[in-house]
Structure 1
Amino acid sequence: MTPQIAGSRYISLTTFKRDGTAVATPVWAVEDGGELLVWTRDDSGKVKRVRNGARVTVTPCDARGRTPEDAEPAEGTARLMTEEGGLDRVRRAMARKYGWQFRLTDSGGALFRRGRRPHVGIAVTL
Protein backbone atom coordinates (compact mmCIF):
# COMPACT_ATOMS: atom_id res chain seq x y z
CA MET A 1 0.00 0.00 0.00
CA THR A 2 1.40 3.38 -0.93
CA PRO A 3 2.03 5.88 1.88
CA GLN A 4 0.04 8.45 -0.12
CA ILE A 5 -3.07 6.25 0.03
CA ALA A 6 -2.60 4.99 3.61
CA GLY A 7 -1.92 8.50 4.95
CA SER A 8 -4.71 10.29 3.11
CA ARG A 9 -7.63 11.56 5.21
CA TYR A 10 -10.01 10.68 2.35
CA ILE A 11 -9.77 8.27 -0.53
CA SER A 12 -11.83 8.06 -3.67
CA LEU A 13 -13.23 4.53 -3.71
CA THR A 14 -14.28 3.59 -7.21
CA THR A 15 -16.67 0.68 -7.56
CA PHE A 16 -18.13 -0.63 -10.78
CA LYS A 17 -21.69 -1.22 -11.94
CA ARG A 18 -22.58 -4.45 -13.72
CA ASP A 19 -22.22 -2.67 -17.08
CA GLY A 20 -18.68 -1.55 -16.14
CA THR A 21 -19.53 2.07 -15.37
CA ALA A 22 -17.20 3.44 -12.68
CA VAL A 23 -18.70 5.23 -9.66
CA ALA A 24 -16.26 7.13 -7.43
CA THR A 25 -17.12 8.07 -3.84
CA PRO A 26 -14.95 9.96 -1.34
CA VAL A 27 -14.74 7.98 1.92
CA TRP A 28 -12.76 7.81 5.13
CA ALA A 29 -10.35 4.90 5.06
CA VAL A 30 -7.69 3.48 7.34
CA GLU A 31 -4.87 1.03 6.69
CA ASP A 32 -4.96 -1.97 9.02
CA GLY A 33 -3.20 -5.28 8.62
CA GLY A 34 -2.29 -4.66 4.99
CA GLU A 35 -5.87 -3.81 4.01
CA LEU A 36 -7.62 -0.51 3.50
CA LEU A 37 -10.77 -0.43 5.65
CA VAL A 38 -13.86 1.66 4.89
CA TRP A 39 -16.99 2.20 7.05
CA THR A 40 -20.31 2.75 5.28
CA ARG A 41 -24.05 2.15 5.50
CA ASP A 42 -25.11 -1.32 4.46
CA ASP A 43 -27.70 0.06 2.03
CA SER A 44 -25.27 2.29 0.11
CA GLY A 45 -24.71 1.93 -3.61
CA LYS A 46 -21.04 1.06 -3.16
CA VAL A 47 -22.00 -1.94 -1.00
CA LYS A 48 -24.41 -3.15 -3.67
CA ARG A 49 -21.72 -2.76 -6.33
CA VAL A 50 -19.12 -4.64 -4.22
CA ARG A 51 -21.63 -7.47 -3.79
CA ASN A 52 -21.88 -7.65 -7.58
CA GLY A 53 -18.13 -7.51 -8.20
CA ALA A 54 -15.01 -7.18 -6.07
CA ARG A 55 -12.98 -4.96 -8.43
CA VAL A 56 -12.25 -1.47 -7.07
CA THR A 57 -9.74 1.33 -7.45
CA VAL A 58 -8.61 3.77 -4.77
CA THR A 59 -7.02 7.19 -5.11
CA PRO A 60 -6.17 9.83 -2.48
CA CYS A 61 -8.64 12.71 -2.61
CA ASP A 62 -10.17 15.56 -0.63
CA ALA A 63 -13.58 15.59 1.07
CA ARG A 64 -15.28 16.46 -2.22
CA GLY A 65 -13.63 13.62 -4.12
CA ARG A 66 -11.13 15.78 -6.03
CA THR A 67 -7.95 13.84 -6.68
CA PRO A 68 -4.51 15.46 -7.08
CA GLU A 69 -3.30 15.60 -10.68
CA ASP A 70 -0.29 13.42 -9.87
CA ALA A 71 -2.27 10.78 -7.94
CA GLU A 72 -2.11 7.28 -9.37
CA PRO A 73 -5.15 5.07 -8.79
CA ALA A 74 -4.41 1.67 -7.26
CA GLU A 75 -6.33 -1.41 -8.35
CA GLY A 76 -7.69 -3.71 -5.69
CA THR A 77 -10.29 -6.23 -4.65
CA ALA A 78 -12.95 -5.55 -2.03
CA ARG A 79 -14.85 -7.73 0.40
CA LEU A 80 -17.63 -6.85 2.81
CA MET A 81 -17.19 -7.13 6.57
CA THR A 82 -20.35 -7.62 8.65
CA GLU A 83 -20.91 -7.95 12.41
CA GLU A 84 -19.93 -11.60 12.12
CA GLY A 85 -17.03 -10.90 9.79
CA GLY A 86 -14.87 -8.23 11.40
CA LEU A 87 -16.96 -5.07 11.62
CA ASP A 88 -15.59 -4.40 15.11
CA ARG A 89 -12.08 -4.35 13.61
CA VAL A 90 -13.19 -1.65 11.18
CA ARG A 91 -14.89 0.31 13.98
CA ARG A 92 -11.74 0.25 16.17
CA ALA A 93 -9.40 1.21 13.31
CA MET A 94 -11.65 4.11 12.27
CA ALA A 95 -11.88 5.36 15.85
CA ARG A 96 -8.06 5.31 16.13
CA LYS A 97 -7.59 7.40 12.97
CA TYR A 98 -10.60 9.74 13.07
CA GLY A 99 -11.17 9.95 16.84
CA TRP A 100 -14.17 11.90 18.08
CA GLN A 101 -15.44 12.60 14.57
CA PHE A 102 -15.88 8.90 13.89
CA ARG A 103 -17.30 8.20 17.34
CA LEU A 104 -19.88 10.92 16.78
CA THR A 105 -21.01 9.45 13.46
CA ASP A 106 -20.91 5.89 14.82
CA SER A 107 -22.86 6.42 18.05
CA GLY A 108 -24.77 9.62 17.35
CA GLY A 109 -26.55 8.23 14.34
CA ALA A 110 -27.70 5.22 16.38
CA LEU A 111 -30.11 7.47 18.28
CA PHE A 112 -32.07 8.10 15.10
CA ARG A 113 -31.98 4.42 14.13
CA ARG A 114 -33.25 3.28 17.56
CA GLY A 115 -29.93 1.62 18.38
CA ARG A 116 -29.60 -0.36 15.17
CA ARG A 117 -26.33 0.04 13.33
CA PRO A 118 -26.95 -0.68 9.66
CA HIS A 119 -23.29 -0.46 8.73
CA VAL A 120 -20.80 -2.64 6.96
CA GLY A 121 -17.06 -2.50 6.48
CA ILE A 122 -15.33 -2.77 3.16
CA ALA A 123 -11.84 -4.26 3.19
CA VAL A 124 -9.74 -3.46 0.13
CA THR A 125 -6.64 -5.45 -0.74
CA LEU A 126 -4.40 -3.65 -3.21
Structure 2
Amino acid sequence: MNDATRLLAEQQYVELTTFRRNGIGVATPVWIAPDGEDLLIVSVDNTGKTKRLGHTARVELRPCDLRGNVVPHAPRYAARATVHRDRAAIARVKKAIGAKYGWWYRALTTVEPVLNRMPGRKPRAAIVVTDVELLEP
Protein backbone atom coordinates (compact mmCIF):
# COMPACT_ATOMS: atom_id res chain seq x y z
CA MET A 1 0.00 0.00 0.00
CA ASN A 2 1.51 3.35 -0.99
CA ASP A 3 1.64 6.34 1.38
CA ALA A 4 -1.32 8.10 -0.27
CA THR A 5 -3.54 5.04 0.05
CA ARG A 6 -2.43 4.51 3.66
CA LEU A 7 -3.19 8.12 4.63
CA LEU A 8 -6.68 7.97 3.15
CA ALA A 9 -7.35 4.57 4.75
CA GLU A 10 -6.61 6.09 8.16
CA GLN A 11 -9.24 8.83 7.78
CA GLN A 12 -12.63 8.58 9.48
CA TYR A 13 -14.33 10.30 6.50
CA VAL A 14 -13.15 11.07 2.99
CA GLU A 15 -14.64 13.41 0.42
CA LEU A 16 -15.16 11.37 -2.76
CA THR A 17 -15.49 13.57 -5.83
CA THR A 18 -16.96 11.95 -8.94
CA PHE A 19 -17.33 13.78 -12.23
CA ARG A 20 -20.29 14.53 -14.47
CA ARG A 21 -19.98 14.17 -18.24
CA ASN A 22 -19.33 17.93 -18.49
CA GLY A 23 -16.36 17.62 -16.09
CA ILE A 24 -18.00 19.22 -13.06
CA GLY A 25 -17.10 17.43 -9.84
CA VAL A 26 -19.67 16.36 -7.26
CA ALA A 27 -18.32 15.70 -3.76
CA THR A 28 -19.81 13.27 -1.22
CA PRO A 29 -18.46 12.38 2.24
CA VAL A 30 -18.01 8.62 2.58
CA TRP A 31 -16.65 5.94 4.87
CA ILE A 32 -13.63 4.27 3.34
CA ALA A 33 -11.71 1.16 4.36
CA PRO A 34 -8.54 -0.52 3.15
CA ASP A 35 -8.39 -4.03 1.74
CA GLY A 36 -5.00 -5.00 0.37
CA GLU A 37 -3.93 -2.31 -2.08
CA ASP A 38 -7.51 -1.10 -2.60
CA LEU A 39 -9.75 1.35 -0.77
CA LEU A 40 -13.39 0.28 -0.50
CA ILE A 41 -16.62 2.26 -0.23
CA VAL A 42 -20.14 0.90 0.17
CA SER A 43 -22.96 2.82 -1.50
CA VAL A 44 -26.58 2.55 -2.42
CA ASP A 45 -26.63 1.60 -6.10
CA ASN A 46 -28.11 3.82 -8.81
CA THR A 47 -27.21 7.00 -6.96
CA GLY A 48 -25.45 9.93 -8.56
CA LYS A 49 -21.99 8.73 -7.66
CA THR A 50 -22.48 5.21 -9.01
CA LYS A 51 -24.04 6.58 -12.20
CA ARG A 52 -21.18 9.05 -12.69
CA LEU A 53 -18.65 6.25 -12.17
CA GLY A 54 -20.38 4.40 -15.00
CA HIS A 55 -18.96 6.86 -17.52
CA THR A 56 -15.66 7.85 -15.90
CA ALA A 57 -13.46 6.09 -13.38
CA ARG A 58 -11.71 9.36 -12.47
CA VAL A 59 -12.17 10.41 -8.84
CA GLU A 60 -10.55 12.75 -6.36
CA LEU A 61 -10.34 12.21 -2.62
CA ARG A 62 -9.62 14.49 0.36
CA PRO A 63 -9.91 14.01 4.12
CA CYS A 64 -13.08 15.59 5.51
CA ASP A 65 -15.49 15.47 8.43
CA LEU A 66 -18.92 13.84 8.71
CA ARG A 67 -20.60 16.74 6.91
CA GLY A 68 -18.07 16.83 4.09
CA ASN A 69 -16.15 19.86 5.35
CA VAL A 70 -12.62 19.46 4.09
CA VAL A 71 -9.84 19.81 6.61
CA PRO A 72 -7.89 23.07 6.06
CA HIS A 73 -4.86 22.51 3.83
CA ALA A 74 -5.94 18.90 3.22
CA PRO A 75 -4.05 17.13 0.46
CA ARG A 76 -5.98 16.16 -2.67
CA TYR A 77 -5.56 12.75 -4.29
CA ALA A 78 -6.40 11.46 -7.75
CA ALA A 79 -7.50 7.86 -8.20
CA ARG A 80 -9.59 5.48 -10.27
CA ALA A 81 -12.81 3.93 -8.97
CA THR A 82 -15.05 1.21 -10.31
CA VAL A 83 -18.49 0.04 -9.23
CA HIS A 84 -19.06 -3.65 -8.55
CA ARG A 85 -22.52 -5.08 -8.05
CA ASP A 86 -21.84 -8.78 -7.50
CA ARG A 87 -22.45 -10.34 -4.09
CA ALA A 88 -18.79 -11.19 -3.49
CA ALA A 89 -17.69 -7.58 -4.03
CA ILE A 90 -20.45 -6.21 -1.82
CA ALA A 91 -19.58 -8.74 0.90
CA ARG A 92 -15.89 -7.74 0.60
CA VAL A 93 -16.62 -4.04 1.07
CA LYS A 94 -19.07 -4.62 3.92
CA LYS A 95 -16.50 -6.79 5.71
CA ALA A 96 -13.78 -4.13 5.34
CA ILE A 97 -16.07 -1.27 6.42
CA GLY A 98 -17.34 -3.34 9.36
CA ALA A 99 -13.79 -4.14 10.46
CA LYS A 100 -12.79 -0.47 10.41
CA TYR A 101 -15.92 1.16 11.86
CA GLY A 102 -16.89 -1.65 14.25
CA TRP A 103 -20.00 -1.30 16.39
CA TRP A 104 -21.09 1.93 14.65
CA TYR A 105 -21.35 0.20 11.27
CA ARG A 106 -22.97 -2.90 12.77
CA ALA A 107 -25.58 -0.72 14.50
CA LEU A 108 -26.46 0.97 11.21
CA THR A 109 -26.75 -2.32 9.36
CA THR A 110 -28.69 -4.27 11.99
CA VAL A 111 -32.01 -3.45 10.34
CA GLU A 112 -30.71 -3.83 6.78
CA PRO A 113 -32.18 -7.35 6.21
CA VAL A 114 -35.66 -6.05 7.04
CA LEU A 115 -35.22 -2.92 4.94
CA ASN A 116 -33.99 -4.99 1.98
CA ARG A 117 -37.41 -6.66 1.75
CA MET A 118 -39.28 -3.34 1.55
CA PRO A 119 -40.60 -2.18 -1.83
CA GLY A 120 -38.45 0.42 -3.53
CA ARG A 121 -35.34 -0.50 -1.56
CA LYS A 122 -32.27 0.08 -3.70
CA PRO A 123 -29.51 -2.53 -3.70
CA ARG A 124 -25.99 -1.84 -2.48
CA ALA A 125 -22.90 -1.45 -4.64
CA ALA A 126 -19.20 -1.74 -3.89
CA ILE A 127 -16.89 1.04 -5.04
CA VAL A 128 -13.26 -0.04 -5.39
CA VAL A 129 -10.68 2.77 -5.45
CA THR A 130 -7.25 2.08 -6.95
CA ASP A 131 -4.19 3.92 -8.28
CA VAL A 132 -4.21 6.63 -5.60
CA GLU A 133 -1.66 9.40 -6.05
CA LEU A 134 -1.11 12.82 -4.53
CA LEU A 135 -2.33 15.72 -6.70
CA GLU A 136 -1.35 18.57 -4.41
CA PRO A 137 -0.19 18.83 -0.81
Q: Count residues with an aligned counterpart.
A: 126
What are the equivalent positions in structure 2 for 1:67-82 lying under 5 Å apart? 67-82=70-85
Matched, 1:45 2:48: yes
Structure 1 unmatched ranges of 5 or more: none
SS of the residue 1:31 aligns to: strand
Distance 1:102 1:58, change over 3 A: same
SS of the residue 1:63 aligns to: coil
Bigger mean CA offset, 77-86 vs 18-27: 77-86
Distance (Å, rounded) in 1 between the aligned partners of 2:49 and 2:92:
20
SS of the residue 2:70 aligns to: coil
Q: TM-score by structure 1 length?
A: 0.90
Distance (Å, rounded) in 1 between the aligned partners of 2:107 and 2:113:
10
Matched, 1:120 2:122: no
1:117, distance to aligned residue in structure 2 (A) = 6.7
Q: If you compute each CA radius of gyration, which structure gives the higher value, 1 or 2?
A: 2
Alpha carbons 2:58, 2:80 under 8 Å: kept: yes
Matched, 1:8 2:21: no
Distance (Å, rounded) in 2 between the aligned partners of 1:62 and 1:70:
14
Identify the match of residue 54 of structure 1 among 30, 54, 57.
57
